[in-house]
């Protein structure tokens, strides 16, 4: 038992590192490198223990070895490797200090001398922290893709400060006479300080990542909106061509023979998928999306008094309404029952609000993560921005977008203040 407890630091650092290693970016010949790295790490750790290397030097050696293991086995930058190593060390440090805060008072009170209680406590605390870290931090962040940092200096400073804090704590801890009356209080306070400091470092590093992630997300949303603007201009040009062609056919129809009229009527029917809702952007969007619905065997039921959207920029309408209908179409394309392949769109004014409501059948309930809708598409990095884009665009006008599912019907509700109640730059 004493043998195992004496090696808790290298073991704890290694298993903590497993939580942060970028498993999606393995280098060539990963397995032999990883196995050799593990053997080397624990061999050096054993040598340090056998020859009673000073604790501070051992700590430095373990940190360098974890850094080397990650760097050799995974494709990541030095900054990323520092981040992974620092987080691993912080997690081990928190687990160790929490265990000591639990074990020392109990051992002193009950006069326990064995290592069974200490090892059991360390194992339980480590598992609990690992589960929390994995589901709260590691899993959500790696699902978003590569880690990007807003300020790389924060990562470097965090690593330096954490090592310095642990070094300082080891000096202070060794300076407390264990037979003094204030030992237990001082010991607990010092360990609590170390835990809080390590938590602060972790929070700082992950908030640093959050800032960069948010910047990237906003940049993607801005690019999508710009793309929607370009698509709207193209759709507007396409609509003008359709209108010209429709007018030409009507002129030809009066002079055509019966056989020619039959062909012209078919073409007119295809071109007559046009809407007149009181808003040109809505008309263009619905005309474009209704053709897409027809191809997919989806019925689009529309009730739109779109004059209430006159204060909304046309490409913003195209973006919001287009994304909403695209999401509904993509969902219904997976449905085999024709009776369920229906999209209901309603645009109206309610008191001082313009309301856009889209309804469609959905076989699955939407998934949420940290309050945000999670895409069901395989490539999460490339998708999942449709609803976010709608929400961001609505917020420009002081509005909101809300989604919910009731009785297998997916509802998207966009509310926008009327023109008298908003000011848009």
pLDDT digits 0-9 by tens, 57-96: 888 899 899 999 999 999 988 878 888 888 888 888 888 8
Note the pLDDT of residue 246. Answer: 66
pLDDT digits 0-9 by tens, 167-189: 666 665 565 555 555 666 766 77
Locate the DSSP E strands across 229-379.
299-304, 342-350, 353-361, 367-369, 372-374
Contacts of residue 186, defined as CB under 8 A and 6 or more positions apart, other chains included, come to 176
pLDDT digits 0-9 by tens, 8-60: 889 888 998 998 888 888 999 999 999 999 999 999 999 998 888 887 788 88
What percentage of residues in the chain have a pLDDT greater than 90?
23
CATH topology of domain 275-421: Heat Shock Protein 90 (3.30.565)
Where are the domain boundaries for CATH 3.30.565.10 in the chain?
Answer: 275-421
CB neighbourhood size of 25 (10 A) = 13
What whole-number distance in Å separates Cα of residue 9 and Cα of residue 57? 13
Note the pLDDT of residue 93. Answer: 80
Alpha carbon 244 to its chain centroid, in Å, reads 46
What percentage of residues in the chain have a pLDDT greater than 70?
68
Q: Mapping DSSP to helix (H, G, I), strand (E, B) and coil, where does residue 178 land?
A: coil
Count of all residues that appear for the chain in the document? 425
Q: Is the pLDDT of residue 408 over 80?
A: yes
Q: Is the pLDDT of residue 196 over 70?
A: yes
pLDDT digits 0-9 by tens, 364-376: 876 655 445 555 5
The H or E element that residue 405 is part of is strand 400-406
* pLDDT mean across residues, the chain: 78
What whole-number distance in Å separates Cα of residue 154 and Cα of residue 138? 19
Alpha-carbon torsion (86, 87, 92, 97), positive or negative: positive
Alpha-carbon torsion (86, 89, 92, 93), positive or negative: negative
The residue among 248, 243, 311, 250 whose CA lies nearest residue 283 is: 243
What whole-number distance in Å separates Cα of residue 94 and Cα of residue 207? 19
């Amino acid at each position: 038992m004493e043998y195992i407890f004496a090696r808790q630091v290298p073991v704890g650092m290694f298993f903590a590192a497993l939580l942060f290693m970028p498993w999606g970016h393995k280098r060539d010949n990963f397995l032999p490198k990883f196995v050799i790295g593990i053997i080397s790490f624990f061999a050096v750790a054993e040598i340090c223990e056998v020859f009673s290397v000073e604790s501070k030097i051992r700590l430095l050696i373990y940190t360098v070895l974890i850094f080397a293991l990650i760097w050799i086995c995974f494709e990541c930058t030095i900054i990323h490797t520092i981040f992974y190593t620092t987080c691993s060390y912080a997690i081990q440090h928190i687990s160790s200090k929490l265990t000591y805060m639990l074990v020392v008072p109990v051992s002193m009170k009950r006069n326990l001398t064995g290592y069974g209680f200490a090892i059991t406590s360390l194992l339980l605390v480590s598992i609990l922290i690992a589960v929390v870290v994995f589901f709260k931090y590691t899993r959500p962040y790696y699902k978003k893709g590569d880690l990007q940092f807003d300020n790389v200096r924060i990562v470097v400073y965090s690593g330096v400060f954490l090592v310095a804090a642990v070094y300082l704590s080891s000096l202070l801890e060794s300076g407390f006479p264990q037979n003094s009356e204030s030992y237990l209080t001082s010991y607990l306070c010092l360990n609590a300080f170390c835990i809080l400091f390590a938590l602060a470092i972790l929070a700082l590093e992950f908030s640093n990542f959050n800032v960069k992630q948010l910047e990237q997300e906003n940049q993607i949303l801005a690019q999508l909106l710009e793309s929607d603007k370009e698509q709207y201009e193209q759709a507007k040009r396409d609509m003008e061509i359709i209108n010209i062609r429709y007018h030409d056919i009507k002129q030809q129809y009066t002079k055509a023979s019966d056989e020619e009229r039959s062909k012209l009527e078919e073409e007119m029917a295809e071109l007559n998928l046009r809407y007149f809702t009181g808003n040109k952007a809505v008309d263009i969007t619905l005309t474009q999306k209704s053709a897409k619905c027809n191809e997919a065997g989806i019925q689009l039921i529309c009730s739109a008094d779109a004059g209430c959207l006159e204060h909304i920029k046309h490409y913003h309408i195209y973006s919001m309404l287009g994304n909403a209908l695209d999401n509904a179409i993509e969902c219904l394309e997976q449905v085999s029952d024709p009776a369920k392949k229906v999209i209901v769109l309603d645009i109206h004014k309610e008191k001082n609000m313009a309301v856009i409501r889209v309804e469609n059948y959905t076989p699955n309930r939407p998934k949420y993560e940290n309050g945000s809708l999670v895409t069901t598409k395989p490539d999460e990095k490339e998708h999942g921005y449709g609803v976010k884009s709608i929400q961001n665009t609505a917020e420009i006008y002081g509005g909101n977008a809300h989604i919910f599912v009731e009785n297998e019907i997916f509802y998207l509700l966009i509310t926008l203040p009327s023109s008298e109640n908003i000011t848009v730059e």
